């Protein structure tokens, strides 16, 4: 945003009515939150529409039933849950009761509609628990199955799945979308002026306590069964799945070392051109068992698209372009985003053709089907260690990159952006710029297409279609920014912030409870990221320039390495991607 003329305190007060010192104190002190900041937190909940939807679901679910009148409102328990997340106090009912009893001022309790003098911490524990059970019941897809703490046999698990309530799951996703969106909208729009529309999407694992849920079938039996295998659910949270680092993360690889828990999908604002965006806010959140990512990613993209009309790149790892097109790629293109994908070695090379057109998709981008075989297959050959006939040794990375560069004249050129229907126009390359080979005979040909062509939503085309050729210079620069969503997920789980990664901080059980904890952690983290982003942008050095942290790494002479110059010079250097998968 260039040179700042606004002080840090002025910029923070514009949003939170408090300066930097006061906000630091509000994060450090576990209670006595200043009323101005308390009001901003409460406004997120009140403006989200979540309370109205919960009331509608309560009316729908209460038909023909009677129950004890709640002594705490939905608004109160959601607010207390959010405050505990921001203070790093965890998500236990005990801490929820302590916040309601001791950490809110009398004035704040009154704003929430209760008199905290009417009972001790035990009284408020039971009242908060009952209200929270009502909240969770509205969004619990397993509500027709037995109580949590029950262990299910494989047969009982299949029966429970048959009772799974998709409507309640949809409610949970809606509640997530409402609250996350409200937290993102706390950021003044002026700070999004330089946002280009790029977003990274990834899944992160959330462990729960207790036994893992082993599969009671061998791998051979799994392959023979066309339908979902029976699986014993030995964890007290029978609704969770089991996770392994390898494979599809669904516990089918090395079952004995699987870990019980859930996965959350998150979309994060990034900048693939100039490095880390100052406000890496989470714009979409979805929740599921490990490995079961059929619908979650699509939902997070839709949440993100509803937040902004800017359309850039969607950067993901291999798990997402491995989905079936109607589960992910169609939605991405309908919302007019382009993608940055990675591939397994057996997915490289010829990835499909455009029906009725002389166009093939190679390493993610469209080329005219007039290239020699080595131009088409070089990426796969190199990845799989195939021998180069000319040298007698496997193709080197330099040889692969040279062939990548040589095939550039065969590539189609995008003509404008993706349309609202997901279709995109391209120009064929100039036939004079390349030497053409007939795709059937392999012989030289003069039969070369010209003009423009529209590529639609054919499944074999859009499944791997992306903006830049795999491993090209442009691809490397953009794909490297995927680590920003990994850093975002680590921040969510860090014990110094929202502590979502510690299963001991989540003493409740079940899909609905853990999902709500993830929602509140996301809302809290977005508020924290807004404070940090504003502080960074408006912190200046003695010359009035945005201040940057000195780099720890040094060159061979012992001098500190300098930061790469970026238009938004307050951004920190981007960390290299890790291999944690979380």
pLDDT of residue 582: 39
d(CA 257, CA 215): 11
pLDDT of residue 562: 41
Which of 61-70, 146-155, 480-489 has the least mean pLDDT? 61-70
Mean pLDDT for the stretch of residues 151-171: 89
* Residue carrying the six token digits 């003329």: 5
Mean pLDDT for the stretch of residues 479-497: 93
Percent of the chain with pLDDT over 70: 86
pLDDT of residue 561: 41
Taking alpha carbons only, the member of 393, 283, 404 closest to residue 337 is: 283
Percent of the chain with pLDDT over 90: 71
**CA dihedral of 21, 24, 29, 33, whole degrees rounded to 10:** 80
Tens of pLDDT, residues 529-552: 999 999 999 987 655 666 655 444
Mean pLDDT for the stretch of residues 197-219: 81
Which of 82-86, 245-249, 366-370, 407-411 has the least mean pLDDT? 245-249
Tens of pLDDT, residues 379-404: 999 999 999 999 999 999 999 999 99
For residue 426, count other CB atoms closer than 10 A to its CB: 21
Question: Cβ contacts of residue 457 below 8 Å, gap of 6+?
Answer: 325, 330, 333, 422, 423
Tens of pLDDT, residues 55-96: 999 999 986 555 667 789 999 999 999 999 999 999 999 999
For residue 51, count other CB atoms closer than 10 A to its CB: 16
Full 3-state SS string of 133-172: HHHHHHCCCCCCCCCCCCCECHHHHHHHHHCCCHHHHHHH
d(CA 153, CA 157): 6
- CA neighbours within 13 Å on the CB side: how many for 447? 12
For residue 208, count other CB atoms closer than 10 A to its CB: 21
Residue 211's pLDDT band (cuts 50, 70, 90): confident
Residue 555's pLDDT band (cuts 50, 70, 90): very low
pLDDT of residue 69: 73
Max Cα separation, the chain? 89
**Does position 258 have pLDDT exceeding 50, yes or no?**
yes
Q: Where are the domains of the chain?
A: 8-149+497-536, 154-339+480-485, 345-465
Which of 33-47, 218-232, 407-421 has the least mean pLDDT? 218-232
């Amino acid at each position: 945003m260039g040179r700042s003329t606004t002080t840090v305190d002025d910029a923070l007060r514009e949003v939170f009515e408090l300066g930097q010192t006061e906000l630091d104190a509000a994060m450090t002190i576990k209670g006595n939150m200043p009323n101005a900041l308390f009001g901003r937190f409460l406004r997120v909940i009140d403006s989200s529409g979540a309370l109205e939807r919960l009331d509608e679901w309560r009316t729908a679910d209460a038909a023909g039933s009677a129950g004890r009148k709640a002594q705490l409102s939905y608004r109160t328990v959601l607010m207390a849950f959010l405050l505990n997340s921001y203070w790093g106090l965890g998500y236990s009912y005990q801490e929820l009761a302590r916040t309601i009893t001791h950490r809110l001022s009398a004035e704040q309790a009154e704003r929430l509609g209760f008199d905290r003098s009417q009972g001790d911490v035990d009284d408020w524990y039971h009242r908060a628990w009952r209200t929270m059970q009502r909240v969770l019941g509205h969004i619990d897809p397993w509500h027709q199955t037995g109580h949590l703490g029950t262990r299910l046999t494989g047969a009982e698990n299949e029966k429970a799945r048959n009772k799974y309530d998709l409507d309640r799951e949809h409610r949970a996703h809606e509640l997530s979308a409402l609250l996350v969106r409200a937290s993102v909208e706390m950021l003044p729009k002026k700070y999004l002026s330089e946002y280009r529309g790029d977003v990274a999407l990834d899944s992160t694992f959330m462990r729960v306590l207790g036994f893992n849920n082993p599969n009671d079938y061998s791998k051979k039996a799994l392959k023979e069964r066309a339908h979902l295998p029976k699986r014993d659910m030995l964890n007290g949270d029978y609704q969770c799945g089991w996770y392994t680092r390898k494979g599809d993360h669904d516990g089918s690889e090395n079952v004995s070392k699987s870990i019980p828990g859930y996965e959350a999908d998150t979309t994060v604002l990034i900048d693939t051109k100039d490095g880390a965006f100052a406000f890496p806010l989470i714009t979409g959140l979805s929740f599921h068992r490990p490995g079961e990512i059929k619908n979650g990613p699509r939902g997070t993209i839709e949440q993100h698209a509803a937040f902004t009309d800017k359309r850039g790149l969607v950067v993901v790892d291999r798990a997402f372009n491995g989905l079936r097109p109607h589960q992910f790629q169609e939605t991405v293109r309908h919302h007019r985003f382009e993608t940055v994908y990675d591939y397994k070695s057996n997915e490289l090379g010829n990835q499909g053709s455009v029906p009725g057109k002389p166009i093939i998709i190679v390493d993610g981008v469209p080329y005219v089907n007039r290239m020699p075989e080595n131009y088409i297959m070089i990426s796969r050959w190199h990845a799989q260690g195939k021998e180069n006939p000319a040298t007698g040794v496997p193709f080197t990375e330099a040889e692969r990159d040279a062939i990548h560069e040589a095939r550039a004249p065969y590539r189609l050129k995008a003509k404008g952006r993706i349309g609202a229907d997901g279709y995109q126009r391209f120009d064929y390359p100039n036939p004079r710029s390349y030497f053409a080979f007939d795709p059937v005979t392999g012989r030289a040909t003069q039969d070369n297409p010209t003009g423009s062509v529209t590529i639609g939503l054919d499944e074999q085309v859009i499944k791997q279609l992306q903006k830049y050729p795999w491993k090209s210079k442009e691809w490397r620069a953009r794909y490297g920014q995927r680590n920003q969503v990994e850093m975002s997920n680590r921040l969510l789980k860090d014990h110094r912030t929202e502590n979502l990664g510690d299963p001991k901080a989540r003493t409740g059980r079940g899909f609905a409870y853990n999902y709500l904890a993830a929602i509140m952690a996301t809302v809290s983290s977005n508020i924290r990221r807004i404070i940090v982003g504003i502080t960074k942008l408006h912190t200046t050095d003695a010359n009035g320039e945005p201040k940057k942290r000195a780099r720890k790494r040094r060159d061979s002479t012992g001098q500190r390495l300098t930061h790469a110059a970026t238009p938004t010079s307050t951004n920190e250097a981007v960390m290299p991607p890790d291999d944690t998968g979380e």
